[in-house]
Amino acid sequence: MAETIPPRATMKGSSKAAGIAGAVLVLASLFVGAYYPAQKAVLWILAGTGAACLLGFVIAERRLLARAPASRAARHGANAVAITLALLGILVILNVLAIRHNAKWDLTAEKLYTLSDQTVKVLRNLDRDVTVTAFFADAGEGRARLKQLLDNYTDETSHLEVTFVDPDKNPALAKQYGIRAYGTTVFASGDQTFRITEQTEQAVTNALVRVSREGRKTVYFLAGHGEHGLEDTQRSGYATAKKALVDQGFAVKDLLLLREAEVPADCDVLVIAGPTKPLMEQEVEAVRKYLDGGGRVLALLDPQTDPALGPVLDAWGVRLRDDVVIDTMSRLFGGSYTTPIITEYPAHEITEGFQIATFLPLARSLDKAEKLPDGVSYAPLARTSAQAWGETDLGNAKASFDPQADHRGPLTLAALFSREVAQKDGDENSGGGQLLVVGDSDFADNTYFNFSGNGDLFQNLVSYLSKEEDLIAIRPKDAKPSPLVLNPSQAATLFYASVVVAPLALVLAGLGIWWKRKNL
């Protein structure tokens, strides 16, 4: 005989189903309203149907609901609701704090998602609005990477306005900007614009520097005496150094003093990059006059050369030693003894926070005169380790330290000599001359520029002399792969631990549990 289901039980089951369906439909309407606000019809259908189902449940179960508050289950339920609401309140408060105080943690070994010191300096000193318009397809390659990068920039400054535009959906704007390829980003501020096609921190920071400055500082490189060529792309050329300075917003030019007769008035920094032939007397006089007028000179002077700059160096208290620096620590890094490693940077604005080693191939040491000329100050910038020495017997193939003739380290390889001069009305260059001397020029050539901190040091020197202090920092680096290299013993340990020990431990644990249950 079939069992008969009482009508009351059937009605009760239907009302519960209606209540569950109503709750689901109301939640679905909230989801549609949050993520698909344009679907008004669907939203109202879900909300109306859900409300009707909940109303039916309340009417059908009104007696049960009326008795519910006095029951033990209701009290436990109320406690559960209170705890749930308290937890939700805590989550809301944490969410509000997270929004107002944005904090991120970069756990990558190379800090790939952390802005460099230079970028942070540029952003914090940004005092004008910059619009950034990135032309990417909605699902274009590189769009997400650039957006994540620019989000880090906008966290540091409120002067950036970033817009992503799909050129296919907005062809008029793409035509206005002259966009011919996907992935082009245009930076604009006032009358200045600059565009890039890379999605790297270095490219973005350089673009900001270009558009946020009125005018460009000019760096002249002395030519005509065997110096490193700005257009030379061979190993000893300075094409890489020139590109780095241009990317930073500098105008870079050659200077033939025999033709010009004097250093141009628009020269912000004069670089003398490793001359192998002596300067003419009138050229030396032009450099001296420029310095005395408040000019700024970066002299990169190699050993075993005589550029005939003695009168200038003597007038500033510079003592160039006739030696070649030998550093036994270089062997630990795969270099030669004649490539000293610089890891000690005395406190100065140029090297503040600079903790990257630099390598100066075939360098000479320098020092200040026992008595500096009146008004001249001296600041060492880079020193070797105590294991280095200045070898004066340059004809000896097997160099060894001679305490009678050689100079024991630490040795100074770079130093700044500054002099205050009389201020002239309306002349910015009269504020104070500066002569920065480095006992090597090869560290900034195409071969060594991108090696360790060499390029950063060179750009810091130029940035300081040009009074672009916010550009003095460690430049952004592109992400590089970091493979895990294991020696044979480490590889064997990893193999046995993961392939043998771990599976065997699981098998033994399983057998132990089986044996224990079997003997209960």
- List the CATH number of the domain containing 147: 3.40.30.10
Domain boundary among the residues 69, 100, 131 is at 100
Phi, psi of 359 (to 5 degrees): -125, 125
Residue 164 lies in a domain: yes
Residue 98 has pLDDT above 90, yes or no: no
Same domain, 189 and 221: no
Q: What is the pLDDT of residue 364?
A: 95
- 467: closest CA among 212, 351, 296, 299? 296
Residue 374 lies in a domain: yes
CA distance 415 to 488: 46
CA distance 34 to 518: 56
Residue 511 lies in a domain: no
Question: How many CA atoms, within 13 angstroms, populate the side-chain half-sphere of residue 194?
Answer: 20
Domain that holds residue 17: 11-100
Same domain, 197 and 336: no
Q: What is the pLDDT of residue 430?
A: 46
Residue 505 lies in a domain: no
pLDDT tens for each residue of 42-76: 878 888 887 888 788 777 766 666 666 666 665 66
pLDDT tens for each residue of 304-342: 999 999 999 999 999 999 999 998 877 666 667 889 989
Domain boundary among the residues 471, 498, 515 is at 471
CA dihedral (57, 58, 63, 64) positive or negative: positive
Q: What is the pLDDT of residue 71?
A: 63
Same domain, 43 and 182: no
Q: How many domains is the chain built from?
A: 3
Residue 34 has pLDDT above 80, yes or no: no
356 pLDDT tier (thresholds 50, 70, 90): confident
DSSP string, 11-29: HHHHHHHHHHHHHHHHHHH
pLDDT tens for each residue of 72-89: 665 666 566 666 666 766
Query: What strands lie across the sheet with 407-408, from one edge to the other?
Result: 324-327, 388-391, 407-408
Residue 520 lies in a domain: no
Same domain, 466 and 410: yes
Asked if 389 and 369 count as a contact pair (C-beta separation under 8 A), the reply is no
Residue 495 has pLDDT above 90, yes or no: no
Residue 105 lies in a domain: no
Same domain, 359 and 240: yes
Same domain, 320 and 228: yes
Q: Region 379-385: what's the mean pLDDT?
A: 94
Same domain, 159 and 225: no
Residue 499 lies in a domain: no
pLDDT tens for each residue of 361-377: 999 999 999 999 999 99
